[in-house]
Amino acid sequence: MLDTFLTLLQPLTFLIILVSTTIGIILGAIPGLSGGLGVALLLPVTFGMPSEVGLAMLVSIWIGGVSGGLIGSILLGIPGSPSSIATCFDGYPMTRNGQAVKALGAGITASFLGTVLSITVAMFLSPMLAKLALKLGPWEYFSLGFCAISLVAALSKGSVFLGMASAALGLLLSTVGFAPIDGYARFTFGSIYLGSGLDLVALMLGLFALKQVVADYARGQQQVPEVDMTDIRGFGVSLREYRDNAWNIIRSFFIGLWIGFLPGMGSGLSNMVAYAQAKSASRTPEKFGEGIIDGVFASETSNNASVGGSLIPMVALGIPGDGTTAILLGGLMIHGIQAGPLLFTNNPGIVYALFLTALISAVLVLLLQYFGMRLFPAILKIPYHYLYPAVVVLGFVGVFVGSSTAFNYLLLLGFAALGLIMDHCRLPVGPFILAFILGPMLELNLRRGITYADNGLELFLIRPVSGVLLALALLSILWPYLSPFLRRSRAKDIAN
Amino acid sequence: MNTDKPLGAALLVLGAGGVISAAQISVRTFNNDPGPKLFPMMACAILIICGLGLLLRKSNRVTPAIPATEWRRGLTMAGLLVGYALGLWLVGFHAATFIGGFALYWAIAGPEKRSLMRGAIYALLLTLGVHLVFKTMLGTFLPQGFLF
């Protein structure tokens, strides 16, 4: 391990890690781009490099990208990637309240903690945890996804009906395109562009970026938010705030780690679930969405904890945890390295390079963002007539670069319109996006679960983990209606 | 205006339409596989339940109506976005972004802050900056335009 560490600290290798981390942060911060895109784009560059160095470069971009997403979410209310959607919910209101630096400080430290702790866990517990993941079947995966959606929907603002309706809309839209297993084309209306489904980048940029531009312009909102830069020390977050959020951070970390290491899930889901849990456990849930630091801590700890989590099945089983680890796995294979149970025996240097680069990169992200956090709010000083045209252009270019099709412009405009309608009708956006992201995975596991056994449908209820998760989902939906009864009966008991 | 009732009705119609549409999916399946119609039907069933819930429950919440000026400004911005999308499709990134960037700047800045020269320089820098990042540095494709 020491040899690998010293190799990574060689001047040229360290410079590559530093530059790659910086590129990752920038890509993560730009709406429509992500660290995953950077990994895909720069994968061919690593062909001529030694395996350790090439892998170090890709991992650094990835780590930088996940952490960089918080900048756009907090300062502009536009998530750089699905992993930082929940950061918008309170990070952006904090910016609007003049607390941009505090929100950034909380996000940066939470990102650091999430990454470092999850990588440390992954380093030592990978083989053991991976065996646990293999014991879960489609029944558990479906129930976990459904439970996550129900929790987020039930805890959204407004009634459960609004939250669940929003989730159902997301599920319905996720069915557009070729169905899993049989490839049947659903709701495509004969269009080849809809075959692969609705584009997630177009959905995110439409619902957040373009909708915001239209809404602010319509309201005549030209007021640039003030940023309170006075008396800011360290990360701008007090020791008391860290102490108050200690349990929130620990819980979010385990949520992120657990969801990250389940194949097919990842940081896109973990940030939403951790946010919903933080809100549910809070003594002041009504403050969520108005700009509370707890929401930023929850989202950013969990999405970065998923980084280490998703490395566990990749390293130990050769199963990628999410899209980016799938590309990383491809990178390993191109370099002639087979991930899986034998990787620790055959190529321990690669395993250590992977984990140590992630740790070095996390420290670099912390330092780069610490020095940058006082400069990032300068974005907010840009008047809207300069900022918003750039947001619009980046939005349209962002949806084009991933697919090279002009059809995505239509989707982008359509989702912006949908976002405006949802805002007007008070339909929460969180459950909608979560359901859209998880829809294909849910459907695949639902069908697999029914098919794998004669009593497949029953197994969703009788397998212990699956049954508990479904019960939790049902309870979260019914809770708003049950809790008044429970409160009334408790009050009666006290009166008697 | 109370938006819950019209929203409930819309969800009900959408859910019912989805169920009818999904019911028409016909594909041969094996091993108890419920096929591609089950999941959309499940989503539509939730939509119908939520639609009914919103229609039937008592709600006094009133959403303020959107003022006429807000409608006008919103439609103007929507028109600009549609125009920019059409421009990208027809004439490609460079021309569309220069013109679109200028038009957006002009509209958002308003009569008090806008300047022809500043707007033109800004639109040019925006076009060149995005070209530099995406095309030169990242090597990605930018919209070429249908006409070119």
Mean pLDDT computed over A438-445: 88
**Could you tell me if B77 lies within 8 Å of chain A, comparing CB atoms?**
yes
Q: How many domains are there within chain A?
A: 1
pLDDT tens by residue, A314-337? 777 776 666 677 777 777 777 778
CB contact under 8 A, A413 and B81: yes
pLDDT tens by residue, A358-417? 899 999 999 998 888 777 777 666 788 888 899 899 889 988 887 788 899 999 999 999
- Residues from chain A that touch B141, judged by Cβ atoms under 8 A, are 400-401, 404
Interface of B with A in 53-72 (CB under 8 A): 53-54, 57, 63, 66, 69-71
CB contact under 8 A, B141 and A427: no
Amino acid letter, B94: H
Give the confidence band of A441 by pLDDT, cuts at 50, 70, 90: confident
Give percent above pLDDT 90 in chain B.
61
pLDDT tens by residue, A4-15? 777 778 888 899
pLDDT at residue A418 tops 80: yes
pLDDT at residue B108, as a whole number:
92
pLDDT at residue A231 tops 60: no
CB contact under 8 A, A424 and B3: yes
pLDDT at residue A375, as a whole number:
75
Nearest CA in chain B to A213: B77
Give the confidence band of A453 by pLDDT, cuts at 50, 70, 90: confident
- How far apart, in whole angstroms, are the C-alpha atoms of residue A418 and residue A421? 5
Please check whether residue A439 is in contact with residue A171, taking contact to mean a CB–CB distance below 8 angstroms.
yes
- How far apart, in whole angstroms, are the C-alpha atoms of residue A317 and residue A310? 11
pLDDT at residue A265, as a whole number:
62
pLDDT at residue A244 tops 60: yes
Tokens 């707007």: give the residue.
B119
Mean pLDDT computed over B40-55: 94
Please check whether residue A466 is in contact with residue A460, taking contact to mean a CB–CB distance below 8 angstroms.
yes
Give the confidence band of A227 by pLDDT, cuts at 50, 70, 90: low
pLDDT at residue A144 tops 80: yes
pLDDT at residue A43, as a whole number:
72
pLDDT at residue A243, as a whole number:
92
In what helix (H) or strand (E) does residue A185 lie, and over which residues does it extend?
strand A185-186
pLDDT at residue A482, as a whole number:
80
- Residues from chain B that touch A446, judged by Cβ atoms under 8 A, are 34, 38-39
Q: ipTM score here?
A: 0.94
- On average, the pLDDT of chain A sits at 83
- Classified as helix, coil or strand, A178 is strand
Ranges A212-216, A268-272, A284-288: which has the least confidence:
A268-272
pLDDT at residue A222 tops 70: no
- Residues from chain B that touch A39, judged by Cβ atoms under 8 A, are none
- Residues from chain A that touch B78, judged by Cβ atoms under 8 A, are 214, 413, 417
pLDDT at residue A492 tops 60: yes
Distance from CA of B123 to the nearest CA of A (A): 9
Give percent above pLDDT 70 in chain B.
98
**Could you tell me if B148 lies within 8 Å of chain A, comparing CB atoms?**
no
Tell me which of A169, A385, A394, A412 to substitute to probe the interface with B (most B C-beta atoms closer than 10 Å). Answer: A385
pLDDT at residue A321, as a whole number:
63
| A389: nearest CB among B36, B47, B108 | B108
- How far apart, in whole angstroms, are the C-alpha atoms of residue B117 and residue B68? 32
Domain of residue A315 covers: 2-495
Give percent above pLDDT 70 in chain A.
90
Alpha-carbon dihedral sign for residues B33, B36, B41, B46: positive
pLDDT at residue A302 tops 60: yes
Interface of B with A in 112-141 (CB under 8 A): 113-114, 122-123, 126, 130, 133-134, 138-141
Nearest CA in chain A to B2: A425
- Residues from chain A that touch B69, judged by Cβ atoms under 8 A, are 220
Measured in whole angstroms, the distance separating CA A452 from the mean position of its chain's CA atoms is 30
Amino acid letter, A394: L
pLDDT at residue B71, as a whole number:
92
**Could you tell me if B143 lies within 8 Å of chain A, comparing CB atoms?**
yes
Higher pLDDT: A167 or A263? It is A167
**pTM (2 decimals)?**
0.77
